[in-house]
Structure 1
């Protein structure tokens, strides 16, 4: 998740060895079945191994077969869960949880206010989890420094935008593919992308949630300087 966080929702009680992303947004989405939980754990095991190797050797110097070995799975298993190496960085388990949080907002709440509250709650939970925060910081660094990941990040962000746009469509009675929904979600998620990029480039000196509030306030005010 991040503004770049796309996948299945984590609502599994925190247990020893369970992926940290399952606990950060615990309770935000319906509990997945055992099979799905095992898939999530395998994805997280691969991702953690990859991040550890990226930190030690660099992204470009870390081949998929080395990631597979570190995660104790086969290369084909890595590719089954992540079609490309970039997807290891850009895929997470937050999207369904974010959608659930957005659906739970008061029905009469304006769309931008609902999104702001959802992002504050979701990101707040992630930032309060040391393991999740570290992973988020590493993801942002990789997105900033690796052209292939940076290029794919917009595609990843659009997946999240379409999912949350469908929830906003439910809330407003608009068709999910309406121009208004598409422009709204594109505007908000572009702002979130630029905000997290700014936060990363500035060395994380300011609070990310405060920067997001600032960006969304700027949008709601008509983007007047």
Structure 2
């Protein structure tokens, strides 16, 4: 009985490994050939498996793979964000720390390029998962702004400012995905923007 459970455990581990190999191969192909050049055939070849095996794990083909990849990268970003916020007591600095987490992820070519590309063809595919991180970012930043803005700034006003800040972060992420060396200058610029909104200097 114990041996059967052990074999099942090994089988499940092999399934998880194969699934991850498919996802990794997709990012590599996407990074090299872009959205138009990515195909199940190329992914299967790079992963060293058959095309049929890809469909066993992802019945809807590229659509399933893209959704899982986007959700996985979003989860990584939110985890990193939670960690940096926990270590940052100042609300203005927390906002910048969130941007830094996003730009660090964006600077990793295989993650950043995929996470930043929302072509007209790809957007409908990602509808169930796209925007999850942005919504959480807006909520968190609006909460931070409540600590630094005057009492006259109501919830809708804080949310509007948070949405604009998140929009800037996403654009900065797109820039960094193409030119990683821009990361530090963009963070400096964001510190100045957040500092101006908060009415305080955010340390460089």
Instruction: Give the structure-2-normalised TM-score.
Output: 0.57
1:100 Cα offset (Å):
2.0
- What CA deviation, in whole Å up to 9, does each residue of 1:170-224 have, x standing for no partner? 77889xxx53554243222200122233445xx52743132133134235425xx
Q: Does 1:74 align with 2:54?
A: yes
Rg (Cα) greater in structure: 2
Q: Hey, which of these two has a bigger chunk of helix by percent?
A: 2
How many aligned residue pairs are there? 172
Instruction: Indicate yes or no: 2:152 matched with 1:179.
Output: no
Q: Deviations over 1:19-56 (max 9, x none)?
A: xxxxxxxxxxxxxxxxxx99986664222211333355
Q: CA, structure 1 residues 45+196, in 2 after alignment: closer, same or farther (shift >3 Å)? A: same
1:171 to 1:82, Cα distance in 2 relative to 1, 3 A: farther
Q: Distance in 2 between matches of 1:39 and 1:80?
A: 18
Instruction: State whether residues 29 and 43 of structure 2, in contact with CA within 8 Å, keep that contact through their aligned partners in structure 1.
Output: yes
Shift of the 214–170 alpha-carbon distance from structure 1 to 2, 3 Å rule, reads: closer
Equivalent residue, structure 1, for 2:78: 96
The SS at the match of 2:35 is coil
**Residues 54 and 62 of structure 1 are in contact (CA less than 8 Å); yes or no, is this contact kept in structure 2?**
yes
Q: Given the superposition, is the C-alpha separation of residues 54 and 188 from structure 1 closer, same or farther in structure 2, using an over 3 Å criterion?
A: same
Segments of 5+ residues of structure 1 without an aligned counterpart are 1-36
Residues 1:116 and 1:70: Cα distance change in structure 2 (over 3 Å): same
Deviation at 1:139, TM superposition (A): 2.5
Structure 2 counterpart of 1:13 = none
CA contact (8 A) 1:199 1:205 kept: yes
In structure 2, runs of 5+ residues without a counterpart are 1-12, 148-154, 198-204
RMSD: 4.4
The match for 1:218 is 193
- Shift of residue 156 of structure 1? 5.5
Q: 1:205 to 1:102 in 2, by over 3 A?
A: closer
Where do residues 1-225 of structure 1 align in structure 2 (5 Å cutoff)?
44-55=20-31, 58-64=34-40, 67=43, 70-71=46-47, 72=49, 73-79=53-59, 83-84=63-64, 86-87=66-67, 90-91=70-71, 92=73, 93-107=75-89, 109-110=90-91, 112-120=92-100, 123-124=103-104, 126=105, 133-139=108-114, 143=117, 146-149=119-122, 158-167=131-140, 179-180=156-157, 182-200=159-177, 204=179, 206-221=181-196
Higher relative contact order (CA 8 A, sep 6+): 1
